[in-house]
Structure 1
């Protein structure tokens, strides 16, 4: 299902840190089936109200303070928790998740990133980001070593924003690469102290949520 060879043989950019954008890791038919059956249940709601002072102090140029997004944990390897709420997922989603848990997928990400993932725990999350959402410049948690993202909006107007942006520093204008959240694109990054990135604000005129699936390899705390 996933083009693991393309992942394994992908070329990581080195400036300003390790990142790569893939095209068509999933074939068109599979993309369509996944888009049509993207889940709607078991999501937890989050809000920009959780850190308004931070947004106002450092990023006053953005006015979306009260955004919403919805997150659903579907697999959590740490502490043996495993799958969470999968009965509602379509057959094609079940198949993709099974493939993401194979040694071949982990090996492909390992070869791509250059990170030894032997003692890492895999976490898989669904996201639904509402109009008004944005994710401020950040480098990720220090244990969140490798992140791989797939997108599942059949159509997306570039004027809506909502793009993954590789940044040169912690400033919103220092964009090195911008990726529209369309299903033919996929992003992977390796975390470091310079791995600044963000999601540009989704316009309030957007007529749909921004849909994505995140695969995260967490390093052990010990």
Structure 2
């Protein structure tokens, strides 16, 4: 499977203009059914698409850790590869060193008060007390996230996509669900380059990512941000990822801890959360 973008442009000139189109974000109109969410086709300040293409070309490649739970008895199963960029509101130094200057600028804008204020205005949620968690996520063939609602402390989630080509037969779509049933589909969002999705967490905010097809010639590339309420009672959520007794299965069929995370060499060292 190749992992190169379909087009490359010369690097844009040095431009201090913001990468994020915060006015467009503030104007976002959220659907109310089956819960509050929105698909935003244009969230980058990028009229000619050049910045989106450069972000795609420079999407991180190193340092990703495999995170999976494949036990079908679990409430939520998944397989993704994750690179933490901001954890507990703080940049992850090891990851930042691997980012290009353009990606560093984007991460800095996500950590800034103006972005937080724009999301608060769009969603109507108070976010000033929240910390942020940001990570880059890669979905290879067969990777997925089963239907779930987010933990109760994940107040708002925003995702951005970085695939200029994503044919329908590659699958790997975000599904907005009306219930825990995987076929109770209200809307389906393909990971189109430069587009974004806002999700306001509730007890009914069911969603999933369908398995990426074996025919996919690129990883599905996502930037994922959560606003985390440190005072929330996570026992009210539907996920039980914090339970150290939950166990999944290795590729060879043997048991693993629920949070076993391994890189390509099989090591399981990364302690951070990769929960969606």
TM-score by length of structure 1 reads 0.89
**Mapped partners of 1:132, 1:179: distance in 2:** 18
Corresponding residue number in structure 2 for 1:82: 91
CA contact (8 A) 2:64 2:83 kept: yes
Q: Number of aligned pairs? A: 210
Corresponding residue number in structure 2 for 1:203: 213
1:185 is aligned to 2:195: yes
Summarize the Cα distance change of 1:120–1:15 in structure 2 as closer, same or farther, 3 Å threshold.
same
CA contact (8 A) 2:70 2:79 kept: no
Deviations 1:16-46 (A, max 9, x none): 1000000121221110110011111111112
Tell me the SS of whatever aligns to 1:53: coil
**Mapped partners of 1:110, 1:68: distance in 2:** 30
Deviation of 1:177 (Å): 0.9
**Mapped partners of 1:184, 1:33: distance in 2:** 11
Q: Pick the aligned partner of 1:30 from 28, 51, 57.
A: 51
Corresponding residue number in structure 2 for 1:113: 123
**Mapped partners of 1:156, 1:82: distance in 2:** 30
**Mapped partners of 2:50, 2:101: distance in 1:** 14
Deviation of 1:68 (Å): 4.2
| Higher helix proportion | 1
For 1:11-30, what aligned pairs fall within 5 Å after superposition? 11-26=29-44, 27=46, 28-30=49-51
**Mapped partners of 2:216, 2:73: distance in 1:** 25
Structure 2 unaligned residues grouped into runs of 5+: 1-18, 233-276
**Mapped partners of 1:143, 1:188: distance in 2:** 16
Deviation of 1:212 (Å): 0.5
TM-score by length of structure 2 reads 0.72
**Mapped partners of 1:202, 1:82: distance in 2:** 29
Corresponding residue number in structure 2 for 1:51: 70
Moved over 6 A (4+): none
Structure 1 unaligned residues grouped into runs of 5+: 60-64
CA contact (8 A) 1:150 1:187 kept: yes
1:130 is aligned to 2:137: no
CA contact (8 A) 1:179 1:185 kept: no
Q: Pick the aligned partner of 2:82 from 45, 49, 71.
A: 71
CA contact (8 A) 1:74 1:83 kept: yes
What is the root-mean-square deviation in Å for CA atoms of aligned residues?
A: 1.8
Tell me the SS of whatever aligns to 1:96: helix
Deviations 1:156-199 (A, max 9, x none): 11111111111111111111111100113210100000000011
